[in-house]
Structure 1
Amino acid sequence: MTEVGTEHRPESAPFLNRLEHFTWAWFTLPMATGGLSLLLSSQIQPHTFRGLETIGKIVYIWDLFLFVAVTLCITYRFIRFPGMFTGSLTHPTESLMAATPLLSLASIIAAIARHGIPSCGEWLVVVYRVLFWIYFFVSFVAAVGLYYLLFTSPSLKINDMTPAWDLPIFPFMLSGTIASCGAGHQPPDQAVPMIVAGLTAQGLGMMISVLIYANYIHRMIQYGFPAPASRAGMFIAVGPPSFTSLALIGMSNDFPTVYREYFDGLDDTAVTIQIFKVGATMAAIFIWSLSLWFFCISVLACLAARREMRFRLNWYAFVFPNVGFTIATISIGKMFHSASVGWVGSVMTVLLVITYLAVGVNHVRAFVRRDIMCQGKDEDTYWDEIHHKLHQAKGAGLIL
């Protein structure tokens, strides 16, 4: 990690040397890919065709490959360049992306329920349950630890605020999404604890996100939209309400029809399930509307700055949060048996696939052109911006 004033390496630095700048943000690639594999499931899509499930599985395998490759590259960075690991966790902006490996794992685990369990034996149901509980506890520890580090040395100011400040709580929140995908495959005595834990995680994540939103909107009212380079990250704000909506509907649908009497006075199982579904659907629509608003604001902000935007790894925010937005839309449509909403969800799916491919092409081009993973890029960008601001202030006589 390069501080201001450090000499730049030659442009011809070999690939292994460039890995010094291989940041946590690279996990946004498997994040987006895993989300897409989840979306391209016949269990989710309202309109399917022969081969869709195969496409989804191919994307899932590609996601596994990407996750392993990215993990190996960042591991090499931390081993080859001592001090980079602790430096990445204390860096004002890179540390916000330290939660992305867990976000990548969330989509990998959730997709097991869509692409793996239907084709495998009972053993994978047990594995899914074990993975859920491990992920639940690890992501909670990460959420506490990463925010502790952020609050301990607060280098970022309110005018630096973007929805990326929400990322440390995001993995724990996605425990609810994992529960909504896999609880239906579990035995009743295992499904209920998973749903309760998922609802707890989803609730905490959504409430922390609301607190973050308050500061984020305050920042935009006072300072305007984020810089063009950061505007793709505005779509991160679309994610929490979207994933909360789909998780609520998913968990209500997966609540076991055979269970102990957890609720006094509700002896009729069918009535209890119906209450859950109606309540979850109403709450999902209520929350989904916030995603719609953030989505529209983000689209307009990006269109306004389209000529100034250059590829950064935060462009994958065009995909991953909107996967949740699309699945939530489809889920609401299914609950109301609405063919129109289903078609809207299908169109959104096609647009997301096109967006993923477009971002991927720009990613490759940026790597080849050394616009990313190079000296002065990625994690160095923050220090360069600070240096530029200090230089401007000195030039204006504001700093002696």
Structure 2
Amino acid sequence: MASSSILDTRSILSDRTVNDEQPQTKLPRVSAVGRRIHGWSWQAFPVGMGTSAVYVVLYGLKDRSPIVASIETVFYFLNMALFLLNITTLLLQAIFYPRQAYRLLTDPVKGIFVPLVVLSFATIIIGTINYAVPHHVGPNVIYALFWIYVTLAVLTCFPMLMIWFNKPHDLTHFTPAYAFLIFPLMLVGVVAFNTLRVIPPEDNRALGVLLVGYFFQGLGFFMTFFYICIYIMRIMMTGFLEGHQANGAFVAAGPPGFTALALIKLGQCSMEILKHQKLVSPMAGEIWYACSVLGSLLLFGLAIFFFVFGALPWWFKVHKELKDILGCWALTFPNVGWIATLRELGRIFRIPGFSVVHTIFAIIMCIIWAVLFILTIAAFVKGDIFTSMPEDVIKDSVLTRHESEGGGAVSPV
């Protein structure tokens, strides 16, 4: 018994010696800022786009008071601040957590929000035309910004489409939000007619902007229309969208709404440009405009249908949780197109009621923005959005011995 006790004591002492000799691995501390940077995503851009939706809709009001114009300017600068915040945070993420940045780019679901950075840039261009021209920015700058936007749209959309189409997708989980991959190309027409507001019709550059606007508007609309057709097939198979996907139903109203607006405004521009530059025929501009108004009216009806089709079951299908608040921003910017078209059709056909309805929806847009902005801040403070678990941050920060010769570590933010 005594010898057995001695052996047990020696065994315990031996184990303690071995354990003392083994280095204790201490996990690095993860700061709150590091968790925020790691947890940031491209889904932050809809917040800025929803903010821009307010000043775009308010700018189209029939009677704008100086107070309303001042409110629009505040929203314009707030949109730019949010844009810079998102760009800076995602850049820091790419520097300190390249694995997470690459994961977001190649993710078949989260990656669809990458093109929204280009859409946000488009809203800044439109705001600059509304509030900075001609006192602070000249037409040459706007012309350059237009081509920069077209370049960014092409360079962003096509690679993301290659990534998305490289993997199969289940139609039973399809959502209209997948059309975000095409949205920047579809919005070229909207940026084009805003650019033509500051370029004289007799300027040779105006024709290029007009044709490029029509070209990409057609390309973008028909591609997004194919996505919408798949969306109709999906709800035929599974019923209305549920959960966070219920917000995506409003995205279907975006392509026909923005295309209807672009056709009217580009048609107006074509009347002056083709006439001054004596192209096609003396009546070409008038014919283009007439056809644009007819096509716009048809698409306007389609946009209204998709809006109502998404709005009626929305409250009963959406999950009312703060963690899903970012998806609710789809209630704002996709509806800007048909709301602005409503104002244009009222002007063309001299229907005062359309202006009244436009004003009502502008007020509703402001209320929705206020509610969503407050809830988004609440979700951010509670950590329901834009934050990662410490272990996820450490996993993407620390290099394993197989990945680095020295077995070193990347210091987390």
Among residues 283, 288, 301, which one is paired with 2:300 in the alignment? 288
- Which secondary structure does the structure 2 equivalent of 1:40 belong to? helix
CA distance in 2, matches of 1:260, 1:160: 50
Does 1:84 find its partner at 2:100?
yes
CA distance in 2, matches of 1:293, 1:138: 32
Does 1:37 find its partner at 2:55?
yes
Does 1:168 find its partner at 2:185?
no
**For residues 282-322 of structure 1, what are the alpha-carbon distances to aligned partners after superposition, in whole Å with 9 as ceiling and x for unaligned?**
11110111111110111112122256454331211111111
CA distance in 2, matches of 1:158, 1:39: 34
CA distance in 2, matches of 1:51, 1:277: 34
AA aligned to 2:299 is I
AA aligned to 1:369 is K
CA distance in 1, matches of 2:321, 2:279: 53
Return the TM-score normalized by structure 2.
0.82
Contact 1:96 1:168 in 2 (8 A): yes
**For residues 150-193 of structure 1, what are the alpha-carbon distances to aligned partners after superposition, in whole Å with 9 as ceiling and x for unaligned?**
01123x31111111110011011111000111213213311121
CA distance in 1, matches of 2:365, 2:377: 18
For 1:385, the equivalent position in structure 2 comes to none
For 1:382, the equivalent position in structure 2 comes to none
Contact 2:325 2:375 in 1 (8 A): no
Paired residues for 1:207-286 under 5 Å: 207-255=222-270, 256=272, 258-263=275-280, 266-267=281-282, 271-286=283-298
Q: What RMSD over aligned residues (CA atoms) do the two structures have, in Å?
A: 2.1
CA distance in 2, matches of 1:307, 1:77: 29
For 2:135, the equivalent position in structure 1 comes to 119
CA distance in 2, matches of 1:218, 1:306: 20
CA distance in 1, matches of 2:298, 2:279: 26
Paired residues for 1:284-323 under 5 Å: 284-306=296-318, 308=320, 310=322, 311-323=324-336
Among residues 135, 150, 170, which one is paired with 2:149 in the alignment? 135
Does 1:369 find its partner at 2:378?
no
Identity of aligned residues (%): 24
- Which secondary structure does the structure 2 equivalent of 1:117 belong to? coil
For 1:74, the equivalent position in structure 2 comes to 90
CA distance in 2, matches of 1:237, 1:15: 36
Contact 1:229 1:309 in 2 (8 A): no
- Which secondary structure does the structure 1 equivalent of 2:196 belong to? helix
Contact 2:221 2:259 in 1 (8 A): yes
CA distance in 2, matches of 1:342, 1:276: 25
> Mind listing any 5+ residue stretches in structure 1 that lack a counterpart?
1-8, 380-400
Among residues 13, 16, 24, which one is paired with 2:42 in the alignment? 24
CA distance in 2, matches of 1:363, 1:309: 11
CA distance in 2, matches of 1:332, 1:90: 41
For 1:184, the equivalent position in structure 2 comes to 197
CA distance in 2, matches of 1:81, 1:307: 31
Following superposition, the deviation at residue 37 of structure 1 comes to 2.0
Following superposition, the deviation at residue 85 of structure 1 comes to 2.4
For 2:12, the equivalent position in structure 1 comes to none
Contact 2:247 2:327 in 1 (8 A): yes
Equivalent pairs, count: 359
Contact 1:228 1:309 in 2 (8 A): no
Question: Judging changes above 3 Å, is the alpha-carbon distance between structure 1 residues 130 and 229 closer, same or farther for their aligned structure 2 residues?
Answer: same
CA distance in 1, matches of 2:152, 2:200: 24
> Mind listing any 5+ residue stretches in structure 2 that lack a counterpart?
1-26, 393-413
Among residues 141, 152, 159, which one is paired with 1:145 in the alignment? 159
For 1:356, the equivalent position in structure 2 comes to 369
- Which secondary structure does the structure 2 equivalent of 1:48 belong to? coil
CA distance in 2, matches of 1:307, 1:78: 31
For 2:354, the equivalent position in structure 1 comes to 341
Contact 1:231 1:298 in 2 (8 A): yes
Contact 1:180 1:248 in 2 (8 A): no
Return the TM-score normalized by structure 1.
0.85
